[in-house]
């Protein structure tokens, strides 16, 4: 435990960056994911195509490759550091999974809901926003929770591009103290500090929404 | 009431489970620590008839993976082979050499876990490391230097002492600490291996890559737009490493090392790997 004491500021800094990256990626991926989910269920063929291509590309490429692409290739044109490259890659990667989750949620809302909304004079956008999406998110909530937890854990990708996150600091501490095993246990506990409350909160939210219905 | 109880149970169960996991891992660490103290490397090697060497797979001239064969090639690998032959002669036990790729950050852990018996992997001898592993005498004389783009205007590490500069290093090498001593204001970007470091340097994620001159020479030969500037600013000879308290193994290896230095095998390997490096006087590396 002296390892934790001696390197506490380092771990804390890493914890902060992991949290920051996760929150940014979560917001961006939710927005992008919902956008591409809607794109995929629009009646227009070209919109479906775009949404589909986006999802297939980012869902089927390893996160590490997307990260390195931003860190090593895109950075030549638009300068960005490892933290930015990693967070962008994480957002895009996760948004593909969220798009699929949300799309499944939308599809499982009964068709009559949309027809009813339209028949009552709501536009397509309005029916989507006020009728379909609230129900879709409720259905998709359990798997969205999974995606969020995955996102937090996947943020360890930042370590490979010098993103100063928890995993990166863990590597540095392990390299200077040579106590690899203890260091990674400490890192694991710090991840649990984020993921356990998150999963508990998602469960709670699920339960509350169930009763709201 | 019923629901509140259920929730309480859920919280308690979560805490207990987390505690069990943490305690289990701590116990595993303690068990692993106990294990590592009671194994004599020389005895194990003689019993199994093989020495498993950890070598680099991403370092040109020292240990670079040949993608066709999947085997590392380089000075370190050849030294390990020569030492195996020599130790085999000394002990009278037929020994074969096996190679496992290691990275800068993983090699000490692999030694501790006895996944490898010893490592010849461009490893600088430092007092901190000597506390937890055993080193042989030096087998290669190296020092830290920096690799920069030819038109960067950077002449030495001292020029980089400003917060606008980033120095790329590899996790687990001594380069990060040494760089902080000579350019305390410069930012440090630590990457996982040298290949990524070189790519990051090319992508402009840093203005210089810093590590041992010997390794940088390999990159300079591959990338003519980049050059080594300022000479070496540290002195850090490489040693062959074994787990802690392996005096018999270290003794045998030192004896073998002295022999191959004397009988010309060592110099032949120096010539094989370093005679073609531009800007390097390989005769200086030869054993006298």
Give residue B109's Cα distance to chain centre.
11
Mean predicted confidence (pLDDT) in A29-56: 94
- What is the share, in percent, of chain A residues with pLDDT greater than 70? 99
Calculate how close chain B gets to A87, using CA atoms only, in Å: 16
CA dist list (Å): B216 to A155, B64, B211: 31, 14, 7
- What is the share, in percent, of chain B residues with pLDDT greater than 90? 42
Interface test with B, best of A180, A182, A186, A199 (most B CBs within 10 A): A180
Q: Which residue in this structure is represented by tokens 């409350």?
A: A197
Entry pTM: 0.76
> What ipTM was reported for this prediction?
0.78
What pLDDT digit, counting tens, does each position of B14-40 carry?
888 888 888 887 787 777 666 555 578
What pLDDT digit, counting tens, does each position of A76-113 carry?
888 888 999 999 999 999 999 999 999 999 999 998 99
Q: What is the pLDDT of residue A188?
A: 94
Of A184, A7, A18, the C-alpha closest to B106 is: A184
Within 8 A of A171 by CB-CB distance, chain B residues are 105, 171-172, 190, 192
Smallest Cβ–Cβ distance between B108 and the set A75, A168, A178 belongs to A178
B40 backbone dihedrals φ, ψ, rounded to 5°? -90, 120
Count the helices and strands in chain B (H runs, E runs): 10, 13
- Of the listed ranges A195-204, B221-230, B261-270, the least confidently predicted one is B221-230
Integer Cα distance of B95 and B78 in angstroms: 15
Within 8 A of B113 by CB-CB distance, chain A residues are none
Classify the C-alpha dihedral A167-A169-A172-A178 as positive or negative.
Answer: negative
Smallest Cβ–Cβ distance between A79 and the set B173, B189, B204 belongs to B204
Integer Cα distance of B85 and A172 in angstroms: 37
Q: What does the block give as tokens for A169?
A: 């600091």
Q: Is B108 helix (H, G, I), strand (E, B) or coil?
A: helix
Edge-first strand order for the sheet with B71-73 is: B58-59, B63-66, B71-73
**Residue B96 pLDDT exceeds 60:** yes
Give residue B34's Cα distance to chain centre.
25
Calculate how close chain B gets to A61, using CA atoms only, in Å: 19
Of A50, A38, A42, A26, the C-alpha closest to A100 is: A38
Integer Cα distance of A98 and A164 in angstroms: 26
Q: What is the pLDDT of residue B177?
A: 86
Query: pLDDT higher for B210 or A212?
Result: B210
Question: Given the DSSP bridges, would you call strands B208-212 and B166-170 parallel, antiparallel or unpaired?
Answer: parallel
For residue B124, give the DSSP letter.
B
Q: What does the block give as tokens for B162?
A: 């400003």
Q: Which fold has domain B144-229?
A: D-Maltodextrin-Binding Protein; domain 2 (3.40.190)
Within 8 A of A174 by CB-CB distance, chain B residues are 105, 172
Q: Is B245 helix (H, G, I), strand (E, B) or coil?
A: coil
Smallest Cβ–Cβ distance between B109 and the set A76, A180, A188 belongs to A180
- The CATH 3.40.190.10 domain(s) of chain B lie at 41-141+237-285, 144-229
Contacts of A157 (CB under 8 A, 6+ apart): A63, A64, A67, A86, A89, A90, A163
What pLDDT digit, counting tens, does each position of B134-180 carry?
999 999 988 899 999 998 889 889 889 998 999 999 988 888 888 98
A176–B contact, CB cutoff 8 A: yes
Integer Cα distance of B178 and B185 in angstroms: 13
Classify the C-alpha dihedral A183-A186-A188-A191 as positive or negative.
Answer: negative
Of these ranges, A58-62, B59-63, B109-113, the one predicted with the greatest mean pLDDT is: A58-62
Within 8 A of B28 by CB-CB distance, chain A residues are 181
> For residue A5, what pLDDT band results from cuts at 50, 70 and 90?
confident
Ramachandran class of B146: left when φ > 0, alpha when ψ lies in -120 to 50, beta otherwise: beta
Query: pLDDT higher for A4 or B216?
Result: B216
Q: What is the mean pLDDT of chain A?
A: 91
Q: Which fold has domain A2-212?
A: MetI-like fold (1.10.3720)
Q: What is the pLDDT of residue A68?
A: 93
> For residue A133, what pLDDT band results from cuts at 50, 70 and 90?
very high
Distance between start and end Cα atoms, chain A: 48
Instruction: Give strand pairing partners of B72.
Output: B65
CATH of B41-141+237-285, one of 3.40.50.620, 2.40.50.140, 3.30.300.130, 3.40.190.10: 3.40.190.10
Q: Which residue in this structure is represented by tokens 């397509």?
A: A124
Q: What is the pLDDT of residue B279?
A: 67
> For residue B190, what pLDDT band results from cuts at 50, 70 and 90?
very high
């Amino acid at each position: 435990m002296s390892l934790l004491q001696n390197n506490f500021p380092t771990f804390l800094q890493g914890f902060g960056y992991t949290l920051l990256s996760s929150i940014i990626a979560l917001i961006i991926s939710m927005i992008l994911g919902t956008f591409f989910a809607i794109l995929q269920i629009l009646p227009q063929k070209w919109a479906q195509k775009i949404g589909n291509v986006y999802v297939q590309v980012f869902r089927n490429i390893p996160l590490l490759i997307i990260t390195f692409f931003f860190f090593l290739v895109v950075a030549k044109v638009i300068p960005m550091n490892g933290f930015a490259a990693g967070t962008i890659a994480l957002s895009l990667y996760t948004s593909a999974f969220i798009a699929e989750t949300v799309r499944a949620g939308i599809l499982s809302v009964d068709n009559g809901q949309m027809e009813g909304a339209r028949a009552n004079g709501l536009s397509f956008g309005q029916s989507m926003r006020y009728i379909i999406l609230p129900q879709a998110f409720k259905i998709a909530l359990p798997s969205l929770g999974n995606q969020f937890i995955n996102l937090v854990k996947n943020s360890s990708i930042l370590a490979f591009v010098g993103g100063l996150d928890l995993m990166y600091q863990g590597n540095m501490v392990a390299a200077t103290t040579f106590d690899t095993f203890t260091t990674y246990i400490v890192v694991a506990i710090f991840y649990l500090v984020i993921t356990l409350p998150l999963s508990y909160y998602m469960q709670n939210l699920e339960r509350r929404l169930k009763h709201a219905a | 009431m019923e629901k509140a109880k259920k929730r309480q149970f859920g919280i308690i169960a979560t805490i207990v489970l987390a505690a069990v996991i943490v305690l289990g891992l701590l116990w595993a660490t303690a068990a692993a620590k106990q294990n590592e103290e009671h194994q004599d490397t020389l005895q194990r090697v003689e019993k199994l008839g093989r020495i498993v060497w950890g070598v680099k797979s991403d370092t040109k001239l020292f240990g670079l993976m040949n993608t066709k064969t999947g085997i590392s090639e380089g000075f370190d690998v050849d030294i390990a082979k020569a030492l195996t032959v020599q130790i085999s002669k000394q002990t009278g036990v037929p020994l074969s050499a096996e190679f496992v790729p290691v990275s800068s950050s993983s090699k000490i852990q692999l030694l501790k876990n006895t996944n490898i018996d010893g490592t010849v992997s461009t490893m600088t001898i430092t007092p901190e490391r000597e506390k937890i592993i055993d080193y042989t005498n030096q087998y290669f004389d190296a020092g830290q230097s920096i690799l920069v783009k030819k038109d960067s205007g950077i002449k030495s590490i001292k020029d980089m002492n400003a917060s606008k500069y980033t120095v790329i290093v590899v996790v687990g090498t001594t380069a990060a600490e040494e760089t902080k001593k000579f350019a305390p204001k410069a930012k440090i970007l630590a990457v996982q291996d040298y290949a990524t470091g070189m790519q990051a340097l090319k992508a402009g994620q840093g203005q210089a890559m810093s590590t041992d001159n010997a390794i940088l020479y390999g990159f300079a030969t591959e990338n003519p737009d980049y050059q080594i500037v300022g000479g070496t600013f540290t002195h850090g000879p490489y040693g062959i490493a074994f787990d802690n308290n392996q005096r018999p193994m270290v003794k045998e290896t030192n004896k073998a090392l002295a022999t191959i230095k004397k009988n010309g095998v060592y110099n032949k390997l120096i010539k094989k790997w370093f005679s073609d490096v531009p800007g390097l006087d390989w005769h200086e590396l030869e054993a006298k």
